[in-house]
């Protein structure tokens, strides 16, 4: 099996779990449950509606939420747009100050840049050197006119975990809306909306073995707060998000969330062991630096810098390894990752960064071979 490709890019997307794929395929064809869930006049429609509502229970259950708090979207990008632009629109009469961080996903950063162009004022927090946005930084940025704080639960590049429970407590006291991008944490870390003081939580299916193109926004039910739609149409999803619901996608997302809920803690400890095994293979053998704190980050993500090496060159020397570089290619020039930069990682290290992400189908054999490939490439390059 020497020539096998090894997939270590689970943070970019996961393969669909076969059990989920089976469910999905049962909701497409004439002999399946394929209908428009909004078709109220026949059995086909009622069955599709029942399937969608079952999936809503599965997603709500993972978040310990009420089914009426789940709004289907096309993914976490759309959920983030709906949450952030929606709150800005709904609460602008109270103030125009917003708080987020430099280490967010582009789907959040670009919403805030857009709002800046519309006259909102944004405080951009920096994470600490481990990639965590600390409570004190949030507390210090709060003003009288702050209406929204948006922070991710888990960072997609470093795996750093923000203490959203503590941040939520601070914001609740101040009556500031708290949005969490949980695309990387849903199904991997406990999210309990009964104890987590968040108003809006973005999730998607494709980071947790469901299909791409479907997600959900948790919208806490609270008096006097209505989240204005960003996509207008037939008034689906209690007016918050119009569009015919993709029955097959939603059913698949529900299944992937239910599976995750059942196996979360065992799976996370198994994946942590794989990450540790990978590190053990490298320690003392090659020169590298960990971006983040392994013990305080999500088990599946490991971001490493190889000082004085170029990430892009490393990637092309590792054609059998499916991993991500820590930098982005912007019009022919390489620029270091905005996340690593915000943590204070220098350009020399940021340009030599690689993200390894492990998941449900990663084997010990994959980990050992990947480490071997990496070691031999690095030895050749020195």
- By CB under 6 A, residue 55 contacts ligand PLP: no
Closer Cβ to ligand PLP, 184 or 305, answer by number: 184
Site for ligand PLP (CB under 6 A): how many residues? Answer: 14
- By CB under 6 A, residue 156 contacts ligand PLP: yes
CA distance 202 to 340: 23
Tell me the Ramachandran region of residue 235: left when phi exceeds 0, alpha when psi lies from -120 to 50, beta otherwise: left
Binders in 67-106 for ligand PLP, by CB under 6 A: 75-77, 105
Closer Cβ to ligand PLP, 47 or 81, answer by number: 81
From 25-33, 119-127, 202-210, 336-344, span contacting ligand PLP (CB under 6 A) = 202-210
Binders in 205-234 for ligand PLP, by CB under 6 A: 206-207, 215
The residue of the chain with the least Cβ separation from ligand PLP equals: 75
CA distance 155 to 298: 9
CA distance 290 to 287: 10
What burial class does residue 335 get, using C-beta atoms within 10 Å of its C-beta: 0-12 exposed, 13-18 middle, 19+ buried? middle
Using DSSP's 3-state secondary structure scheme, residue 295 falls into: helix
Closer Cβ to ligand PLP, 107 or 164, answer by number: 107
Residue 349 annotated to the active site: no
Annotated active-site residue in 111, 135, 263, 329? 329
CB of 213 to ligand PLP, least distance (A): 8
From 2-10, 164-172, 177-185, 328-336, span contacting ligand PLP (CB under 6 A) = 177-185
Binders in 123-152 for ligand PLP, by CB under 6 A: 152
- Judged by CB under 6 A, which of 14, 184, 303, 327 binds ligand PLP? 184
What six digits make up the tokens of 72? 């289907």
Give which of 148, 176, 150, 153 is closest to 164, Cα–Cα: 153
SS3 content of the chain, % helix, strand, coil (to 5): 40, 20, 40
Closer Cβ to ligand PLP, 110 or 310, answer by number: 110
Closer Cβ to ligand PLP, 27 or 105, answer by number: 105
DSSP 259-291: HHHHHHHHHHHHHHHHHHHHHHHHTTTS--EES
Binders in 288-347 for ligand PLP, by CB under 6 A: none
Give which of 71, 45, 56 is closest to 231, Cα–Cα: 71
CB of 183 to ligand PLP, least distance (A): 3
CA distance 382 to 380: 6
Q: Residue 55: CB partners within 8 Å, gap ≥ 6? A: 250, 251, 253, 254, 255
> What would the 3-class secondary structure string for 202-215 be?
EEECCCCCCCCCCE
- Calculate Rg over the CA atoms of the chain: 21
From 135-143, 204-212, 258-266, 299-307, span contacting ligand PLP (CB under 6 A) = 204-212
From 199-207, 240-248, 281-289, 336-344, span contacting ligand PLP (CB under 6 A) = 199-207
Q: Which residues pair with 99 in a beta bridge?
A: 123, 149
DSSP 114-131: HHHHTT-EEEEEPP-TTS
- Judged by CB under 6 A, which of 82, 107, 208, 345 binds ligand PLP? 107
CB of 157 to ligand PLP, least distance (A): 9
Closer Cβ to ligand PLP, 212 or 273, answer by number: 212
CB of 161 to ligand PLP, least distance (A): 12
CB of 75 to ligand PLP, least distance (A): 3
From 81-89, 200-208, 246-254, 262-270, span contacting ligand PLP (CB under 6 A) = 200-208
CB of 76 to ligand PLP, least distance (A): 3
Catalytic residues: 329
Write out the residues near ligand PLP by the rule CB under 6 A. Answer: 75-77, 105, 107, 152, 156, 181, 183-184, 204, 206-207, 215
């Amino acid at each position: 099996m020497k020539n096998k490709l090894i997939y270590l890019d689970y943070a970019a997307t996961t393969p669909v779990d076969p059990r989920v794929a089976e469910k999905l395929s049962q909701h497409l064809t004439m002999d399946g449950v394929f209908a428009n869930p909004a078709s109220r006049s026949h059995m086909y429609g009622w069955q599709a509606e029942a399937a969608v509502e079952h999936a809503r229970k599965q997603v709500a259950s993972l978040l310990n939420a009420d089914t009426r708090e789940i709004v289907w979207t096309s993914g976490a990008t759309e959920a983030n747009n709906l949450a952030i632009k929606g709150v800005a629109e709904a609460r602008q009469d109270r103030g125009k100050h917003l708080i987020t961080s430099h280490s967010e996903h582009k789907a959040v950063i670009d919403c805030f840049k857009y709002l800046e162009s519309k006259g909102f004022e944004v405080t951009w927090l920096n994470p600490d050197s481990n990639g965590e946005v600390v409570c004190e930084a949030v507390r210090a940025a709060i003003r009288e006119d702050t209406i929204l704080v948006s922070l991710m639960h888990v960072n997609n590049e470093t795996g750093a975990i923000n203490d959203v429970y503590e941040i939520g407590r601070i914001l609740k006291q101040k009556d500031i809306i708290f949005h969490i991008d949980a695309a990387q944490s849903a199904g991997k870390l406990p999210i309990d909306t009964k104890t987590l003081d968040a108003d809006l939580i973005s999730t998607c299916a494709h980071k947790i073995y469901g299909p791409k193109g479907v997600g959900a926004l948790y919208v806490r039910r609270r008096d006097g707060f209505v989240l204005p739609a960003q996509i207008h149409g037939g008034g689906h999803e209690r007016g918050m998000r119009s569009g015919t619901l993709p029955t097959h996608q939603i059913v698949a997302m529900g299944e992937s969330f239910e599976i995750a809920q059942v196996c979360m803690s065992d799976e996370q400890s198994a994946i942590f062991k794989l990450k540790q095994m990978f590190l053990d293979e490298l320690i003392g053998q090659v020169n590298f630096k960990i971006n983040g704190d392994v013990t305080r980050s999500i088990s599946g993500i490991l971001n490493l810098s190889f000082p004085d090496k170029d990430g892009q060159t490393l990637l092309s020397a590792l054609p059998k390894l499916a991993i991500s570089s820590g930098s982005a290619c912007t019009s022919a020039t390489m620029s270091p990752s905005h996340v690593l930069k915000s943590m204070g990682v220098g350009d020399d290290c940021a340009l030599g960064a690689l993200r390894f992400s492990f998941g449900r189908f990663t084997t010990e054999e994959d980990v050992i071979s990947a480490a071997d490939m990496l070691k031999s490439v690095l030895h050749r390059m020195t």
